[in-house]
Chains A and B, each alone.
Chain A
Amino acid sequence: EDKVVQSPLSLVVHEGDTVTLNCSYEVTNFRSLLWYKQEKKAPTFLFMLTSSGIEKKSGRLSSILDKKELFSILNITATQTGDSAIYLCAVEDNTDKLIFGTGTRLQVFP
């Protein structure tokens, strides 16, 4: 059965810290891996990764995929309280479905 596992489940840090969120997967027909940020509303798109070793960056956030070891990491540098959210990792298969992990809950305190 396809699965996506995220770690840690929960993370509490102070503003300014750097965090690394992990996502490993076992999905038969991998097409891409996506990261989302979920606050109280809709998951909002962060990154889509399809190729190994190519880092994607958006401001203080960056992500990279390793298709050989079947994992991805999401880095957030100089965290701010506005980064507090649940970060979701999902793998898209070739039937266009997303298989989600349970998420990492990040809390950033001032």
Chain B
Amino acid sequence: NAGVMQNPRHLVRRRGQEARLRCSPMKGHSHVYWYRQLPEEGLKFMVYLQKENIIDESGMPKERFSAEFPKEGPSILRIQQVVRGDSAAYFCASSPSLGNGYTFGSGTRLTVV
């Protein structure tokens, strides 16, 4: 079992470009969560998805950010027109079902220059 796989590990984008972050959950896990960790801050919840459904996106910025978890393939966190303030580590976690613990991926470190 390869665990939660995130790619890329590091991503550098210029201001105004798009960033696409991928997360493949653990085998058998149908719940995916995205968290953002800004420098010197704790992880902050962004969005919770199940296959083809967004369950809770209360932590997502209202503009430029979107997430999906299609029937086939990884979950994608998409940031359009990136700004320097988007520079952070983005972690994905997966869970087999509610209340059954989370496994985190190694994160994608996004740097906007």
Interface set of A (CB-CB < 8 Å, partner B) = 4, 31-32, 36, 41-45, 48, 88, 90, 92, 95-103
Contacts and interface: CB of A to CB of B under 8 A. Distances in A.
A97 B32 CA distance: 11
Interface in B89-108: 91, 93, 95, 98-99, 101-107
A88 B95 CA distance: 19
A100 B102 CA distance: 13
Interface stretch (B12-20, B36-44, B60-68, B71-79): B36-44
B107 A102 contact: no
B42 A101 contact: yes
Given A98-B45, A99-B45, 8 more contacts: A42-B104, A43-B43, A45-B101, A45-B103, A96-B56, A96-B99, A100-B42, A102-B42
A102 B31 contact: no
A36 B98 CA distance: 19
A88 B35 CA distance: 14
B48 to A, nearest CB: 6
B104 A43 contact: yes
B43 A100 contact: yes
A88 to B, nearest CB: 7
A70 B42 CA distance: 19
B101 A97 contact: no
B53 to A, nearest CB: 13
A74 B15 CA distance: 41
Contact of A98 (B4, B35, B105): B35
A57 B14 CA distance: 46
Contacts of A36: 104
B42 A88 contact: yes
A24 B93 CA distance: 23
B107 A96 contact: no
Q: Which 9 A-B pairs have the closest CB atoms?
A: A100-B42, A42-B104, A102-B42, A41-B106, A100-B43, A42-B106, A97-B45, A43-B104, A96-B98
A60 to B, nearest CB: 22
B56 A95 contact: yes
